[in-house]
Amino acid sequence: MATAATGQPITMQDGQLQVPSTPVIPFIEGDGTGPDIWRASQATLDAAVEKAYGGEKQIAWMEVLAGEKAFNETGEWLPDATLDAFRQYLVGIKGPLTTPVGGGIRSLNVALRQILDLYTCLRPVQYFSGVPSPVKQPELTDMVIFRENSEDIYAGIEFEHGSDDCEKFKKLFEENFAERFKKVRFPGTTGFGIKPVSQEGTARLVKASIQYAIDNDKPSVTLVHKGNIMKFTEGAFRDWGYECAKNDFGATELDGGPWCTLKNPKTGNEIVIKDVIADAMLQQILTRPAEYSVLATLNLNGDYISDALAACVGGIGIAPGGNINYDTGHAIFEATHGTAPKYAGKDQVNPGSVILSGEMMLRHLGWTEAADLIIKGLNGAIGAKTVTYDFERQMEGATLVKCSEFGQAIVKHM
């Protein structure tokens, strides 16, 4: 079996990933349900690679620590060694990590994305036949979210009410922007948060989303924003997004704009670049899902829309994702869901989101045969109604299996 000592690093040359036959892949097990899910996922990914390549290719897994396990073993929540491994080996995968609400440490998940500048959170949302869903026609949902991952209120620039910093900030604000300061309704008890959104940050995300639409022959890219209210952040995201479509891809305005159109240089098909206000988007994913394909969003909107869309196609148990920097090649794949603490250690939850995140990772490495086997195995397991509690509770005649057993069912159907 390949180990971190016998494997080789993935590298980036001329903008292309160079993947050896035994790449070292750092992984974080995760908190809460993370260890259960990771065990099932690692076994399933290894089985897919073995079946596809018969030992010619192998993943050299390398455990790196973060979250509670890291804190218990090293006294650090996110040790430097973990960051160094992701920097050196380029592509990794992780389970969910806990973030306390209110006080306490800031999100380690967000920290990893920011420190490694993984500016795209890529979350494909597709329907797998047979999965129970709360909507009437879940098969109409086929969307890919490009969520901006490095800016917005997730930058964590906040001033806690009552702190010295907050008082300093208030003073600065009042002295320099007196008219705007008057809009603060209860200044004596207010905490503040700053929402940075830049042209560069927007352009690189929107560019990646349009390139994805070109490479995958998608009919549209929708810029989702709340630009009617937050004009210079969310509104600017929309305007810079359209600018990027015109300047980088030669899009032209449709009927006087702002919607634009471009011809896919690879297929000749039309790609429409459009926009929608975020609240309307959250109802349209239920009422008109077939009209949307690739979505480009800011950080918070993308977070909300990810969970809502996942629910439409059967839930967060099969909602994968990847955090990617398309320029440096750095990527960390992870599920959309969190640590689901009430199920921790029960070998009960659906490992599908991390397994499908692994499937995305294998495809990203060019190991498409192994990735295809995972999709085949998942379809087989769901088709046989051999499913975890989240599906079983809504499926007639299903067999309830554990987290580990669902991984084994996927392998059986590969």
Ligand X SMILES: O=C(O)CCC(=O)C(=O)O
Ligand Y SMILES: NC(=O)C1=CN([C@@H]2O[C@H](COP(=O)(O)OP(=O)(O)OC[C@H]3O[C@@H](n4cnc5c(N)ncnc54)[C@H](OP(=O)(O)O)[C@@H]3O)[C@@H](O)[C@H]2O)C=CC1
Nearest distance from C-beta of residue 298 to ligand X, angstroms: 13
Extract the tokens encoding 222. 């929708």
Between CA 17 and CA 83 the distance in angstroms is 19
Known catalytic membership, residue 372: no
- Is residue 39 within 8 A of residue 45, CB to CB? The reply is no
- Is residue 70 within 8 A of residue 82, CB to CB? The reply is yes
Does residue 359 belong to the site contacting Mg ion (CB under 5 A)? no
Q: Which of 89, 226, 242, 347 is catalytic?
A: 226
Does residue 70 belong to the site contacting ligand Y (CB under 6 A)? no
Binding residues for ligand Y, total number by CB under 6 A: 18
Among 8, 11, 18, 99, binds ligand X (CB under 6 A): 99
Q: Is 364 annotated as ligand-binding?
A: no
Known catalytic membership, residue 279: yes
Does residue 109 belong to the site contacting ligand X (CB under 6 A)? yes
Between CA 377 and CA 272 the distance in angstroms is 35
334 binds, among ligand X, Mg ion, ligand Y, none (CB under 5 to 8 A by kind): ligand Y
Binding residues for ligand X, total number by CB under 6 A: 8
Sheet holding 142-148, edge to edge: 60-63, 24-28, 91-94, 331-333, 322-324, 120-126, 142-148, 294-297, 220-225, 270-277, 260-263, 252-253
Using CA atoms, how far residue 378 sits from 57, 185, 283, in Å, is 22, 52, 29
The binding track of 278-317 with respect to Mg ion, each residue x by CB under 5 A or -, is -------------------------x--------------
Which residues 327-366 are close enough to bind ligand Y by CB under 6 A?
334, 337-341, 349-350, 353
Q: Is the peptide bond before 96 cis (omega within 30 degrees of 0)?
A: no
Does residue 107 belong to the site contacting ligand X (CB under 6 A)? yes
Between CA 395 and CA 385 the distance in angstroms is 8
Strands (E), 57-109: 60-63, 91-94
Known catalytic membership, residue 31: no
Among 48, 52, 59, 97, binds ligand Y (CB under 6 A): 97
Which residues 306-325 are close enough to bind ligand X by CB under 6 A?
306
SS3 of 270, please?
Answer: strand
Report the residue number, 234 or 303, with the smaller CB distance to Mg ion: 303
Q: Is 337 annotated as ligand-binding?
A: yes
Does residue 374 belong to the site contacting ligand Y (CB under 6 A)? no
Between CA 128 and CA 89 the distance in angstroms is 32
Extract the tokens encoding 211. 């390139």
Known binding residues for D-threo-isocitrate are 107, 109, 113, 123, 147
- Residues in the annotated binding site for NADP(+): 98, 337-343, 350, 389, 393
Q: List active site positions.
A: 154, 226, 279, 303
Residue set of the binding site: 98, 107, 109, 113, 123, 147, 303, 337-343, 350, 389, 393
